[in-house]
Structure 1
Amino acid sequence: MNAPAQPTPADRRQWARYLVEERAEGAVYTNLAARRHGEEREILLSLADAERRHEQHWLDLLGGEPQRLPRAGLRSRMLGWMASRFGSIFVLALAQSAEARSPYDTERFATAAMRADEKVHHEVVRGLAARGRRRLSGSFRAAVFGANDGLVSNLALVLGIGATGVSGPFVLFSGIAGLLAGALSMGAGEFVSVRSQRELLASTEENSDADANAGDLDIDANELALVYRARGMGQDESLIRAQRVVQAAQAGIRRDSTGPIGTHADHEVIGSDWAAAISSFLLFSSGAIIPVLPWIFGLSGTTAIIVALVLVGIALLATGAMVGILSGGPPLKRALRQLAIGVGAAAITYALGLVFGVGAV
């Protein structure tokens, strides 16, 4: 490190900013660790220890604790607030983005070890965030898809109907009908999909009938080995297991079967058909009710259309930003993409409504 003998006041101010940021990041990891157990807790505490080492580096350069310190940045304060109250995957996703933008790459007063640490921290936080994303991926996908589908489809419906020039009560009725039709369709679709998948798994589920009756076999063990080969075992492994099962059964020893390979776990991952149906119904409804709100509260015409666009636009931006945060991507880009898709679909139906409205007149 080629540092000047006499640092400038600007250098010292920058060191103080680094100091408070390291403390803030360390506090985030400590607060997250308090809400975790086992390996994840140990990993987060190790990250907090590393941040304290970096903190000490800047303290040494400053010659001790300064009398006055700047406030941590808005992102660090927000992360700290969320970590102390929620400890959710959103905090890890935001922390991943923060670690990806290390200021030490161009900081001459930072050591090479500190720069390397920041790269490692980014990968560690990415790994922890990936665990949370895997746990959340199924339910989060369903939530975003259901709510977004309700937002876009019902906005397109009420704007298309509204553009024809019909009365406000008719638009309201159309919106409520679209909400119920879409929500019932989503719920029924999820129910049939999940129930069918569970029935498919049940029909292919293995059982231990062959093992349970192995003591009565009067044929060679190779016959039983075919059961295991059909389940995917290799020929030699199947034969060895069949011989052991037959010998144990003939000796009067009950052996625990390995049971279905992955079937119970698959049922747990798929979940309940009724739970999937109800959640899809509610999620679609939560999105579909938003475009109808202006007509529910008595607005009509252009005013209702503009208010509906604003409300749905805010909701689309929020869901898009949430997707961006969880995916580790830029929230603004995802939010604008979501908005463009929703407004684009609504614009098409609105244009069609204008055409049919003119024709009807």
Structure 2
Amino acid sequence: MLDIQSHVSLKPYNTFGIDAKARYWVEIQTEEQLKTLFQLTEFLTVPKLVLGGGSNLVFTRDFDGLAIKMAIQGIEVVREDESHVYIKAGAGVNWHQLVMHCVENGYAGIENLSLIPGTTGAAPMQNIGAYGVEIEQVFDQLEAVAIQTGETRVFTHAECRFSYRESVFKHEAKGQYIISSVTLRLNKQAVFHVEYGAIRETLAEMGISEGQLSIKAVSEAVIRIRQSKLPNPAEIGNAGSFFKNPEISKGQFEDLKTVHPMMPGYPTGDLTVKVPAGWLIEQCGWKGKQMGNAGVHSKQALVLVNLGGATGAEILHLAQNVQQSVEEKFGIRLNPEVNMV
């Protein structure tokens, strides 16, 4: 049975800790409950907001609609072949818990994505990635329920149309489906990605040599790095990386390098170069700065934080000021990775 509540605070359901309210709120624990919800005619035309871990949201106002908290659990092996294991997880499964489950069972491919906040259902929507790995590299398929019909549809890798922090669910299919489960194709034989960030250096500090590499060691290294750089949302409100790393043309990058010789850049292989947004923000003097109750984290300029009682409007105002200064100094427009509501 569905327990639809009215005028519910969303503060516990977003990692920024912004106190917005939803006109209606419901928690979904099974796909059948989701289908039942879409049969309620009184909610057919009501705006809907899907909540996972709330780690990619900024509430700039109350939500005059139905907030749907996805809490579908379950992790299972659905099939395997000589090289791969296919793991199906409910949309409400905590992403890091899924990674830990796979690491403990020797299923390789997502260890570099350790400690990313949020739920499994949200992961393909954003095509989450870190340290040289994106979910699309291990994605097999997902199941989603159509809001208008209540029918379940399977989306293949190709149908998800993945790109950098993008998928079909942020564009053509936006607002049309709610993801209920995700299936990943993981490797029985690990292929390690340790050349990104400080993974190799951290492994060395841990006393792990090349010959001792394991997915558990890589996962632990990533966790160490993230904990040293990123604030815990339970202690200070934030949504992790606030902006995408911009991709600019090689020509623009080379021009900027003549003025800013220390500018880092990573060729993407398609005539563009990815520039770390955190470096750009830091060069503009924002690291550790505060505007009202919002600020830029003192250890990682890519992270905006709620310093206590910040409204979504304050977070947005800070973000816009950061964007403006980066564009003025470098001619690069930063695009938010988080969703504004």
Could you say whether these structures have the same fold, taking a TM-score greater than 0.5 normalized by the shorter chain as the test?
no
Give me the TM-score of the superposition, normalised by structure 1: 0.21
The higher radius of gyration belongs to 1
